[in-house]
Chains A and B, each alone.
Chain A
Amino acid sequence: MNLYHYAAPAAFYGLAGRLIPWFAWGAALFAAAGLYISFFVAPTDFQQGEAYRIIFIHVPAAWMSMFIYMVMAFWCAIGLAFNTRLSFLMARALAPTGALFCFLALWTGALWGKPMWGAWWVWDARLTSELILLFLYVGIMALWAAIDDPKRGDRAGALLILVGAINVPIIYFSVKWWNTLHQGSSINLMQAPSMAATMLIGMLVMAIAAWLYTIAVALVRARGLVLARERHTEWVQKIIKEA
């Protein structure tokens, strides 16, 4: 199988269409299994009670929000280096999901923080860098929204994503530094005590579900973007007529 073949929009469109149901159903199955484990199998935490169960959503969401940014940076680097249009579309297709997971991580973090720390929001290093990551996502999507010319939008967004990717570790480090200076050692947050195996399994299953979900929605979105970009070509016209 020649992978480069699928870099052509028409071939990608067909392949993605065939793959989406697999990833979508996989996501649904893993999410069902993961939620079952998280709610019924995993034991109650002796310190945090039942409220800790939010981490089964929170941790995978936080992982995905960071991981998706890295994947976007990867596609943008490929796109800029090899001038492949599809790579930029992948970055565009991933961004909303990344922002969604970022928001989910912050939201569930707040829900978890209220019973644990007694506050909806604490300027903890991880929360703060997650918030800034959300700002980066918003900035990128705003830039795409402001540029009408697709080619310019692709490349401008890619440059911004790459600069952000270099900056993200520095931001994380600086926020951590800032946090230790200002927070003192009042509360030692997130000091994960050794976790029960079932908790870890639940979290991993949920993480796999988040992965599969991300791939499925990114492919759906990429398919839409391909259609919009290639709307003047013959093969898209044919699809439109058939539909």
Chain B
Amino acid sequence: MWRFLMTVIRRDLLLAARRKGDWLTAQFFFIMVVSMFPLGIGADPEQLRRVAGGVLWVAALLASLLSLARLYADDHRDGSLEQMLLSPQPTVLLALGKAIAHWLIFGLPLLLIAPLLGMQFALPLEAILVLVASLAIGTPVLSLLGGIGAALTLGLRGGGTLLTLLILPLYVPALIFGAGAVDGVLAGMGAEAQLSLLGAFMGMSLLIAPWVTAAALRVSVD
């Protein structure tokens, strides 16, 4: 079981390493969306600081949707997904492994970029630390819940746009707690409450999302 999980993760990481352009797109999308905001709303540091948490989080949601659209699509197209579903290994582990791999490829680099963007938005150091912490706890939620959407929209026309419609409403709690944590620090109220709630939401997604994704995969590939 453990070995199967590791195999799934390693396979996806290997594929990503061979096709760097694919996953870098989402990261640059994230940077660009965030950079558009000062151009749109003005470069007043006070104002930027106030919107930083929300802007970075919304950009992270959108960037995750961009990369999730292809989470299962490539494997579906070349038929390997069907083979994996036929294998005696539990589909739940496949879904979990895919989500973990997606987080390693998408979420982890985001954590490295976020402090730089936080500085651009004139965030103080402690707010940047909380921002990174909130993204560290929150981006797994995006990979897990997004996996459900990716599995449901497998092979449909307009899959990417549809994925956005399905999954964005489900992301709302992650956005509120994540961006709220940054705001909490800035307001001097601390971020423990929001980060704890975000952690609880992540734990729940971890328990539920792989099962639903597995069921959705079976529905879609059937």
Write the residues of chain A forming the contact surface with B, with a CB cutoff of 8 angstroms. Answer: 132, 135-136, 138-140, 142-143, 146-147, 151-152, 155-156, 159-160, 162-164, 166-167, 170-171, 173-175, 177-178, 181
Contact = CB atoms under 8 A, between A and B. Distances in A.
B66 to A, nearest CB: 18
Contacts of B173: 167, 170-171, 173-174
A177 B180 contact: yes
Nearest to A153: B219
Given A146-B158, A164-B170, A167-B173, A178 B180 contact: yes
Interface string B159-200: 000100111111011001100100110000000000001000
Q: Which of B156, B172, B197 has the most CB of A within 10 A?
A: B172
B215 A143 contact: no
Given A159-B152, A174-B173, A177-B197, 7 more contacts: A156-B216, A159-B212, A167-B169, A167-B173, A175-B172, A178-B176, A181-B183
Nearest to B174: A174
Tell me what chain B mostly uses at the interface: helix, strand, loop, or mixed: helix
A152 B156 CA distance: 11
Contact of A175 (B145, B153, B176): B176
Contacts of A162: 212
B222 interface: yes
B37 interface: no
Contacts of B215: 159
Interface string B73-115: 0000000000000000000000000000000000000000000
A173 B177 CA distance: 11
A152 B222 contact: yes
